[in-house]
Amino acid sequence: MIQVEQLSKSYGDRLLFQDVSFSIAEGEKCGLIAANGTGKTTLLRIITGEETPDSGTITTRKDLRIAYLPQRPHLPEGKTILDTCFNPMDKVPHLVGCWREAVEADDSETLEKLLPEMDALGAWDYERRTEEILHKLSVPDLSRSTQSLSGGEQKRIALAGILLSEPDLLILDEPTNHLDLDAIEWLQHYLERSKLMLLMVTHDRYFLESVCDSFLELTPSGVHSYACTFDQYLERRAERLELERTAVQKANNLYRRELEWMLRQPQARGGKQKARKDAFYELKKLTEPPREEKATEIDSQRAYIGNKIFTAHNVSLAYGEKKILQHFSYTFARYDKVGIVGANGVGKTTFLKLLLGEIKPDEGFFEIGETVHFGYFSQQGAKFDPEKRVIEAITDLAEVIRDPHGEGLLSASQLLTRFAFSPERQYTPICKLSGGELRRLYLCTVLLTNPNFLVLDEPTNDLDLLTLGILEEYLREFKGCLIVVSHDRFFMDSLVDHLFVFEGDGVVRDFPGNYTQYREWDNARQAQIQAEQKAQPTQAKANAETTNRKPQQERKAKRSYKEEQEFLQLEKDLPLLEAEIKNLEERMSSGALASDELQKAGAQYQLLSNELDEKTMRWLELSELGN
């Protein structure tokens, strides 16, 4: 158990939080929620001992082992992945690490030497867990140096290392960043099964709902605790804010009456009058509304987009033997909203750069309409001058901006206010912004250009939940085309009409539905493949028995009259079904269907596909019989 009491922290004259008190019990999984720039990461660093509070205490049991995954981990230089993931001072983990390295190198001699020690220390359970973690997090060759790793690889290796260290308290700061969707779902299930204590910051709402059983909402004035699911937290938070607003309103009414009394009174002489004056000044404090993040208003300005938008003609791209695209063709329709999914390294970001003209294809070409104006939000973010103030990043682009609600103009300060930058924060040097505030400023500069074709690469990274919700609302109302790469499943489900699924080797599947629908379809497909693989030995045995029969037993059976009529009907039905499916595919990819129509079309598509599969299998069975 960990007990936090009366923590306060400020930087200069800027208060991050004060009087923060909470506890985390054995087995509790707690989500930490707050607006960008209010001190979430600082609080985590204080708990781990990497920073000191201005005041307050943290109490833990003496043998509590804490493991911390920062938002941007820095691995030690000059070490291998093996040394980073497996502590040399911990015998079993280090032994298993050496075993895994020998397995990767196919070093049978080393494996033979390590085998008796693995048996003696009972290290096989740990080895099986190690294999699962390394595989699911796509940890590369253990002998590689940490200096050669990308930021995403460093995050995955740091995560693997802390999971393998088997801590009592796991502290995670945005653990889903840089993970592909399969790895996120695996980590979610892993943490659900785990018995350890967890304190986590993440913007992934499905993750919060599935993993966490309690929540801490950090505000400048303290912390609010909730023992419930994420959906219940949202409801209870709304109730709390309404009660606070009601209390402030009552205090204001009483304050006005007491103010009239104060103005009528001469200088207090009696004890009762002085006590009432003291109570008046205390009441004045209650009339101040609670400090809470304000809803960011991002307005969807309408930029005209013509009928001719964007067409890819037979585009191919490869790097050496690795195929990114193979004969890809697609015509974007008005208001097309497309999500892109696939494993890390399959080429999603490369695909976006192809569309934007930053990379040239090996074959094929793109046609772009004259009215198309791209807005690109990259995963790496913008490079701002760190010494400039926030407001200068906007005025460098435009001094004033057209107000989409009228004919007037917005100043740079007014625009930043709509992006939840308070007047004080607008004059803060950019180097002092949090990661989330930097992303919000970058988003502001992208939308400022009034694009009609948005290309977003991991836009949800480091954004707080409030900004995420407002961004989603903006994109739902956006009158233009949208392509988005995101590991945030909730974000994808709420926005996209269909998916480009990068399956590897240059293959891109256009799936008519959102991410959850795709996963349901893919899980059913994988289950069918596994069932067929299990059935293969039985079928092989049956085939062998058939081969060993006497020649007269091998004579081909003939179709009965009834089967012959069924066969002839199937030959008529199959082309009609194929034509109907093709027509439905064209309708779904046209972009002309409304959301509810697209959902109905997707369901019809699934029914027709299943019917086609069943009738094709029956046709094959009957065709093997003689007529």
User: pLDDT tens, 81-99?
Assistant: 888 888 777 788 888 888 8
| Whether residue 86 is found in the same domain as residue 140 | yes
Q: Secondary structure of the chain: what % helix, strand, coil (to 5)?
A: 50, 20, 30
212-216, 307-311, 534-538: least confidently modelled range: 534-538
d(CA 478, CA 452): 8
Residue 352 lies in a domain: yes
| Same domain as 566, residue 460 | no
Alpha-carbon gap, residue 48 to 50, rounded angstroms: 6
User: 521, 549, 574: which is the final residue of a domain?
Assistant: 521
Q: Which of 45, 1, 41, 3 is nearest to 22 (CA)?
A: 3
* Nearest alpha carbon to residue 390 among 329, 436, 432: 432
Mean pLDDT of 218-235: 89
Interval 109-120 mean pLDDT: 88
**Cα–Cα distance for residue pair 75/149, rounded to 1 Å:** 9
Of 119-133, 247-261, 359-373, 441-455, which range is least confident? 247-261
User: Residue 272: pLDDT band by 50, 70, 90 thresholds?
Assistant: low
Helix ranges, 137-204 (H): 151-164, 181-193
Query: Which pLDDT value is given to residue 366?
Result: 93
Co-location of 207 and 252 in the same domain: no
d(CA 141, CA 182): 20
pLDDT tens by residue, 554-585 = 444 567 767 777 888 888 888 888 888 887 77
- pLDDT tier at 538, thresholds 50, 70, 90: low
Neighbours of 274 (CB within 10 A): 11
198 and 254 in a single domain? The answer is: no
Residue 433 identity: L
Which of 497, 521, 545 is at the close of a domain? 521
Gap between the Cα atoms of 483 and 100, Å rounded: 40
The DSSP code sequence of 565-580 is HHHHHHHHHHHHHHHH
Q: What single letter denotes the amino acid at residue 335? A: Y
**pLDDT given at position 276:** 55
Q: What is the DSSP letter of 63?
A: T
Cβ neighbours around 54 below 10 Å, total: 14
pLDDT at residue 605, rounded to an integer? 76
Report the C-alpha gap between 546 and 194 in whole angstroms: 50
Same domain, 436 and 513: yes
**pLDDT over 60 at 284, yes or no:** no
Does residue 297 register a pLDDT over 80?
no
Average pLDDT over the chain, rounded to an integer: 83
Is 174 within the bounds of a domain?
yes
- Read off the pLDDT band of 553 (50, 70, 90): very low
Q: What's the DSSP call for residue 552? A: G
Position 40 in a domain? yes
Cβ atoms of 100 and 129 closer than 8 Å: no
With 90 as the cut, is the pLDDT of residue 226 above it?
A: yes
Cα–Cα distances in Å, from 160 out to 101, 139, 142, 187, 622?
A: 15, 8, 12, 10, 53
| pLDDT band (50, 70, 90) for residue 213 | very high
Single out the residue of 179, 202, 200, 210 nearest to residue 487, CA to CA.
179
Lowest mean per-residue pLDDT among 73-77, 216-220, 386-390, 406-410: 406-410
User: Domain range spanning residue 346?
Assistant: 335-358+371-521
Q: 508 pLDDT exceeds 70?
A: yes
Model pLDDT, residue 583:
78
- Point out which residues pair with 323 in neighbouring strands: 318
Give the confidence band of 280 by pLDDT, cuts at 50, 70, 90.
low
Q: Give CA–CA dist 361/357, Å, rounded.
A: 9
With 80 as the cut, is the pLDDT of residue 616 above it?
Answer: yes
Among 154, 175, 206, residue at a domain's last position: 154
pLDDT over 70 (residue 592): no
Give the per-residue pLDDT at 554: 43
| pLDDT tens column, 368-415 | 988 899 999 998 888 899 999 999 988 888 766 665 444 566 778 887
What CATH number does residue 413 fall under? Answer: 3.40.50.300
Q: What mean pLDDT do residues 265-269 have? A: 53
Tally of domains in the chain: 5
**Is pLDDT of 214 > 70?**
yes
- Say whether 59 sits in a helix, a strand or coil: strand
Quick one: 129 and 54 in the same domain? no
pLDDT of residue 550: 45
Please report, rounded to a whole number, the percentage of residues in the chain having pLDDT higher than 70.
83
Helix, strand or coil, per DSSP, at residue 209? helix
Q: Which of these ranges, 165-179, 190-204, 274-288, 516-530, has the smallest mean pLDDT?
A: 274-288
> pTM of the entire structure?
0.71
Who wins on pLDDT, 512 or 301?
512
In a domain, 526, yes or no: no
Q: Using alpha carbons, select from 394, 399, 398 the residue that is nearest to residue 384.
A: 394
Does a structural domain hold residue 162? no
For residues 103 and 245, state if they share a domain: no
Same domain, 92 and 185: no
Instruction: Name the pLDDT band for 315 (thresholds 50, 70, 90).
Output: very high
Task: Report if residue 289 sits inside a domain.
Answer: no
Residues 406 and 489 in one domain: yes
My answer on whether 479 and 403 are in the same domain is yes
Report whether pLDDT(66) > 60: yes
591 in any annotated domain = yes
Nearest to 5 by CA among 53, 51, 57: 57
Shared domain check, 516 and 436: yes
Whether the per-residue pLDDT at 457 is higher than 60: the answer is: yes
Residue 339's nearest CA partner among 460, 440, 159, 243 is 460
Instruction: Check whether residue 415 and residue 443 sit in a common domain.
Output: yes
Between 323 and 546, name the one with better pLDDT.
323
The answer to whether residue 530 is domain-embedded is: no
> For residue 52, what pLDDT band results from cuts at 50, 70 and 90?
very high
Is 90 exceeded by the pLDDT of residue 67?
yes
DSSP 519: H
